[in-house]
Structure 1
Amino acid sequence: MMPEPQQSRPPRNWREKLHELIYESEKPAGKAFDIALLAAILISIFVVMLDSVDSLHARYGHIFFILEWTFTILFSIEYVLRLICIRQPIRYVVSPLGIIDLLAIIPSYLSIFFAGAQSLLVLRALRLLRIFRIFRLVRFLSEMQFLGSAIMNSMRKISIFILFVLTSVVILGSIIYLVEDESSGFTSIPQSIYWSIVTITTVGYGDVAPVTPLGKLIASFIMLLGYGILAVPTGIVTTEMHLARKKEHTNKACPNCGREGHDRDARFCKYCGSRL
């Protein structure tokens, strides 16, 4: 009995090839693309920094201008290609990496209408986070995801804590306004609340200070309260880090939504449900 001939895989279309080039950093072509992208990001940030120096801007401003727009156009084309080669581009647009990629090109276009907006191009430095997935630094990437998960799980408790702190500074600021005289700098309740915030955070600008014994007593209480407050968020996050469960993730991108961070044994995307 003759063995059945194996069915050959249908040839990939251009979108699949483009997806492999742009998203799959584990493949040689994708890794080369991402390394070239990182080099372009570094050079563009360096150009923005040099352009902020007055002496260099006066001599080479036109060159910096051309380079900035060259990189902006290249990054714009790359962003459009990322949208084209996935089936649900809106999921990539609203993902963290998609938002960062968009922020990397918006400042140049804003500079057409608002002078100086090109200084925000340093936001491109956020795109350097791709170095974790490009060079397969999975350990660092998983640690970053683990820390991010612990912080997100702590947000509700921290929000309640911040509400308590805000209530405290409003009450203490109002009390110090009643105790102190305007000559001490406490000219209004908002000004007194500002002093209370500065004091409770242990910053201590020194531009406003109580002079009465009762005012100094209240200030001492706020200072001691500030030291105790500093430890609370740390304890909340530390507890969540102990409760969080580490999972090993891969940097494989979903062909449908372009998002990463899937478990190594996952067969479907945990964000959109498409097959990986």
Structure 2
Amino acid sequence: MSEHASLRARVYWWLERPDREARGPRLLEIALILLITANVTAVILETVSTIYAVWQPAFDVFERISLTMFIIEYAARLWVVPENPQNRSRRAWVVTPSAIIDLLAILPALLVLLFPVDLRILRAFRIVRLLKLTRYSPALGMLLAVFEEEAGAFFAGFFILIVMLVLAASGAWLVEHQVQPDAFGSIPAAMWWAVATLTTVGYGDVTPVTIAGKIFGAIITVLGIGMAALPAGILASGLNDQLHRRRSSMQAEFRRALEDGFICDAEEVEIEDLRKSLGLSYRAALQIRSEVEAEVQARLHLCPSCGRSLSDQKETSA
């Protein structure tokens, strides 16, 4: 292996943590999490004028340091992509959700150099750096995977919502524009009422006053309950499917480890790493292990208490 490839493999080991028990990569991961958290905190505090006026130089220095660190991280992750056994294409990596989030984390600050905009307004977009935590949180990673896999279903749901929005605004304009020209004078103006009603928010600042308008509003309100539940149902179904697949992966790993009837220390470490990467709780993994062990013992005719073959015990007793 060349010196260049060896260095790249080393950087990949530090960034992607193939060995999850390694202390160095773990400390680097904690440092990046703290840096992301500090950046989000800084963005929030910068919106307080009294704090920003006093600490502006410190905020500026911290932003330059953070931007440099995130650019180095992005470039390093792009460089070590060929070391990933699952995806060796840099072009494919650039369009992955985690890579897009990493790019968005540095893009607002870089745009300051190209476009004359209010720096504080553009800095507010740095709040997207909070999404970088999905790389280190299995739960957030699961949610991101659901959005990625169910993108078609979410698009279909929002498309239906847009169609309903246009129909509701059109109907409200038709029955109310003569009585309330300020609120329902046009279809675009009526869309505010349609959005508030379909999302079941109902601010109450714009309401129908005619009998036909009230009947129409009641129908739209009922339909809005179902429309609001549609994305939630897609999300819940996707999360359940993700959790089921992760549990299936854990079951497959236990079955592989128990092929010889017992789990050795090396296999215990691999199983624990898989549990952490899948975001499963220790209790859930223990339950899966008990189920698989019972299944394997029944298949191999092993004693549940001592793990020895029942046929050997019968021969010994005989």
Could you say if the C-alpha distance between residues 89 and 203 of structure 1 is closer, same or farther in structure 2, counting changes exceeding 3 Å? same
User: Relative contact order (alpha carbons < 8 A, sep ≥ 6): 1 or 2 greater?
Assistant: 1
Where 2:204 maps in the other structure, the secondary structure is coil
CA shift for structure 1 position 65: 0.6
Higher alpha-carbon Rg: 2
**8 A Cα contact 1:177 1:186, kept in partner:** yes
Equivalent in the alignment of 1:166: 162
What residue in structure 2 maps to residue 246 of structure 1? 245
Q: Quote the residue 1:24 is aligned against.
A: 17
1:93 is aligned to 94
- Aligned residue number for residue 130 of structure 1: 135
CA contact under 8 A between 1:110 and 1:118: conserved in structure 2?
A: no
Give identity over the alignment, percent.
Answer: 28
Alignment of 1:48-67 (within 5 A): 48-67=43-62
Which of 117, 123, 126 is the aligned partner of 1:118? 123
Retained in 2: the 8 A contact 1:150–1:241?
yes
Question: How many residue pairs are counted as aligned between the two chains?
Answer: 236
Task: Note if 1:206 corresponds to 2:211.
Answer: no
2:229 corresponds to 1:231: yes
Counterpart position of 1:75: 70
- Gaps of at least 5 residues in structure 2 are 83-88, 254-269, 271-276, 279-318
Q: Is the Cα contact below 8 Å between 1:48 and 1:68 reproduced in 2?
A: no
Structure 2 CA distance for aligned equivalents of residues 82 and 239 of structure 1: 32
- In 2, the alpha carbon distance for the partners of 1:234 and 1:63 equals 42
Structure 2 equivalent of residue 197 of structure 1: 195
How many Å separate the matches in 2 of 1:240 and 1:47? 34
The separation in 1 between residues aligned to 2:134 and 2:145, in whole angstroms, is 17
Higher deviation after alignment, 88-97 or 64-73: 88-97
AA aligned opposite 1:73:
T
The residue matched to 1:246 in structure 2 has which SS?
helix
Is residue 42 from structure 1 mapped to residue 43 from structure 2 by the alignment? no
Kindly indicate whether the alpha-carbon contact (under 8 Å) linking 2:200 and 2:228 is maintained by their aligned counterparts in 1.
Answer: no
2:70–2:106 Cα contact (<8 Å) kept: yes
| CA deviation map 1:32-68 (0-9, x unaligned) | 2212222222223333333332122222211211111
Higher helix share: 2
- Is 2:198–2:228's contact at 8 Å kept on the other side of the alignment? no
**Structure 1 CA distance, aligned partners of 2:50 and 2:169?**
47
Maintained 8 Å contact 1:169/1:197:
yes
State the alpha-carbon separation in 1 of the partners of residues 33 and 144 from structure 2.
23
> Are the structure 2 counterparts of residues 54 and 21 from structure 1 closer, same or farther at C-alpha, using a change threshold of 3 Å?
same
Q: Which runs of 5+ in 1 are unaligned?
A: 1-8, 133-139, 253-259, 262-276
Change (3 A) 1:189 1:65: same
CA RMSD of aligned residues (A): 3.2
Name the CA distance, whole Å, in 1 between partners of 2:40 and 2:208.
Answer: 46
1:188 Cα deviation after fit: 0.9
TM-score norm. by structure 1 comes to: 0.71
